[in-house]
Amino acid sequence: MFNNPILRRELLGRLRSWKTFAALIAVALISGGLVLLRWPTDATLDVVSQGAMLVFRPLAFALALAVMMLVPPFPATSLVTERRNGTLALLLNSPTTPLQIYWGKLTSNVCLALILISASLPAMAACLAMGGISLGDHILPLILVLFIMAVQYTAVGLWVSLRSSSSDTSLRMTYAAVLALAVLSIGPLVWIGNLSGAAAWVAQWLTALSPISALQHISAAQAATASLGIGTGFVEFVIASSVVTLGLAVITVRQLDPLQLDRPRPTGKVVSRAAGNSPSLLRRLNYLVDPQQRKASIPWWLNPVMVKEFRTRKFGRLHWLLRLVALCAIISLMLTVLAATGTVSWGVEKIAGPLVLMQLALMLLVGPSLGATLISAEVESGGWELLRATPFPAIRILSGKLMSVVWTMLLVLLATLPGYAVMSTIQPAMSGQVGNVIISLLVAVAMVVAISGCVSSFCKTTAVATATSYGVLLSLFVGTLLVWLARGKPFGPLFVERLLRINPAAAALSEMNTPGFEQYNLAPVSWWVGGGIAVGCLIVLSVRTWLMTRPD
């Protein structure tokens, strides 16, 4: 296996990178810090109580989050970078078979993931020494689940990378697929409930694709998912993930063919402009929703840099925005129906939590993919030199780029508001709470745009900027929720409340009295903290942009 030339090249290149060393240090410090916070001071073993489990549970979820953040970026950019550099065609025409190419890239990334997981073994051993957990029931199943997650997300990244045209697109779609497998796969079971039949069976197996149920089973926290009807464990997760990984591997290896990868440029169609021709009428209707068909001059009051972003960025063009808004509206209406039909048994408070988390997931998916390309994409493509040659000042360039992302994020946010309207109708007393939730989400939008734009100004490639933005924002929004998961022990209530103040999504959950957040008073302090973070990042971004526009 280790005689594979692709494996040796990829593994040695990754091991020599400072980013791998930094990831190892981060995993070791976080895992070790969680154990030190709960280490007994009287030198006694905790055999009967759940002291070790209270440390092991957040440690398990923190390692799962680390795998979700650190594993996908490299396979997501591997094959698309090879194809754009012209080296993939050389590999496919060499004596190396497509199976060897795929196996080398898959195994190298999984080996790196295992090295990262090994950095947490001392923390797991310390939990074992504290008592309350066992090697066969907790440690080994957790390592197996993390290994399966690494293999599955690597296979997903390679599958998406082979079908993408750019690194940032591949990263965006890979993180979207990982989010769908880890979180959104639970949605059908939440929607169906405890019904029986073929639909319930399919929903249960879709839930088995999520590591959440497996981690809850390993960490003895099934009560958190019992209310949703989740009854799967880590065995079902291993089976379902192995099937998906094997299917993706077969499809990707079959696509690794020079003939299948050859993508000729379409020659277009010969059309007629005769009156009454239905295709001609359809093209005239497309004029209304396709910005590329409108060549009128830009008004004086409109920022030309913003117009340039909307007209040249594929994901930012109007017809893509309409599709995105329609998708968000459909999801919101589905949750609205769930809120209307499940209010009697669940209560509005329990429905509001998934709605806020869905909006947070959309912001974390769309925001970094757009904001991380503001400056880095121009630098990588050479367009920044053209912008420097224009008479536009730095503030006009920066405001145009930022507004192109802000308007997109606001459309996504507005498309998910019908659910709150229905909740206000069901319980009119919640109107004030809904207003506070909207303010919290607006602060979250400002943080996402400002942080991703600030990261973009310091990176020279879109792939690095996108991966870094996702890592920083996931650590900020999801990492604080992991600390909330370990509330009580080892983290005290005052520490958890102060840390949650930097997370506007937690403030939104607190305003909706979501179970577990009702005892925290986060607003309006969270708004000021989040606004301060956004303003600080915007100041750094402005100074960085001004320096980049200065003559060399």
Whether residue 326 sits in one domain with residue 205: no
Q: At which of 230, 246, 261 does a domain end?
A: 261
pLDDT higher than 60, residue 291? no
Structure tokens at 537: 């990042």
The number of distinct structural domains making up the chain is 2
Predicted structure pTM score: 0.75
Q: pLDDT tens across 51-65, in order? A: 667 778 778 888 888
Whether residue 332 sits in one domain with residue 257: no
- Structural domain contains residue 278: no
Q: At which of 204, 236, 261 does a domain end?
A: 261
Q: HSE on the CB side for 385, CA within 13 Å?
A: 4
Whether residue 434 sits in one domain with residue 343: yes
Spatial separation of the C-alpha atoms in residues 479 and 490, rounded to whole Å: 15
Whether residue 307 sits in one domain with residue 243: no
Q: What pLDDT does residue 47 have? A: 47
Mean pLDDT of 226-246: 75
Look over the chain and give the mean of its residue pLDDT values, rounded to a whole number. 78
- Structural domain contains residue 269: no
Longest CA pairwise span in the chain (Å) = 90
Q: pLDDT tens across 363-421, in order? A: 887 788 788 888 888 888 788 888 888 888 888 888 888 988 888 888 777 766 766 77
Whether residue 472 sits in one domain with residue 328: yes
- Structural domain contains residue 272: no
Nearest to 287 by CA among 319, 315, 261: 319
Whether residue 362 sits in one domain with residue 498: yes
Whether residue 396 sits in one domain with residue 468: yes
- Structural domain contains residue 222: yes
- Structural domain contains residue 462: yes
Give me the amino acid identity at 342. Answer: G
Residue-number span of the structural domain to which 236 is assigned:
5-261
Q: pLDDT tens across 313-327, in order? A: 665 555 666 666 677
Contacts 24+ apart (CB under 8 A), 274-282: none
Whether residue 309 sits in one domain with residue 256: no
- Structural domain contains residue 349: yes
Model confidence at 542, pLDDT cuts 50, 70, 90, reads very high
pLDDT higher than 90, residue 540? yes
SS3 category, 329: helix
Q: At which of 211, 242, 261 does a domain end?
A: 261
pLDDT higher than 90, residue 351? no
Q: What pLDDT does residue 486 have? A: 67
Whether residue 518 sits in one domain with residue 457: yes
- Structural domain contains residue 282: no
Q: pLDDT tens across 14-43, in order? A: 888 887 888 888 888 888 877 776 666 555
Instruction: List beta partners, residue 465.
Output: none
Q: pLDDT tens across 161-202, in order? A: 988 877 777 887 888 888 888 877 776 666 555 556 666 677
- Structural domain contains residue 292: no
Give me the amino acid identity at 348. Answer: V
Whether residue 251 sits in one domain with residue 140: yes
Whether residue 194 sits in one domain with residue 61: yes
